[in-house]
Amino acid sequence: MANEKKLTRSTNKVLAGVCGGIAEYFEIDPTLVRVAYAALTVFSAGFPGVLLYIIMLIIMPQGSDYEQMD
């Protein structure tokens, strides 16, 4: 299972790489994820969006921008 996908924080980051990691996992443009996250945060009075981001920051492991060589 060398091609197993894992949800990790991205090295393509603006804040902590959470939105970039989600975009990489679903193979979509990170800008779309960031805009959707910003809209969710604004239209939900801010607190749920910020809380969700902090939770994802804590539970998502940091990704790496290189693969280990044998």
pLDDT in tens, 20-66: 999 999 999 999 999 999 998 888 887 888 888 899 999 988 877 54
Say whether pLDDT at 17 is over 90.
no
The burial class, CB within 10 Å (0-12 / 13-18 / 19+), for 52 is: middle
Q: What is the pLDDT of residue 67?
A: 45
Band the pLDDT of 70: cuts 50, 70, 90.
very low
Mean pLDDT of 3-24: 85
**Distance, CA of 1 to CA of 17 (rounded, Å):** 25
Q: Which of 12, 20, 11, 3 is nearest to 56 (CA)?
A: 20
Top-confidence residue, 14 or 58: 58
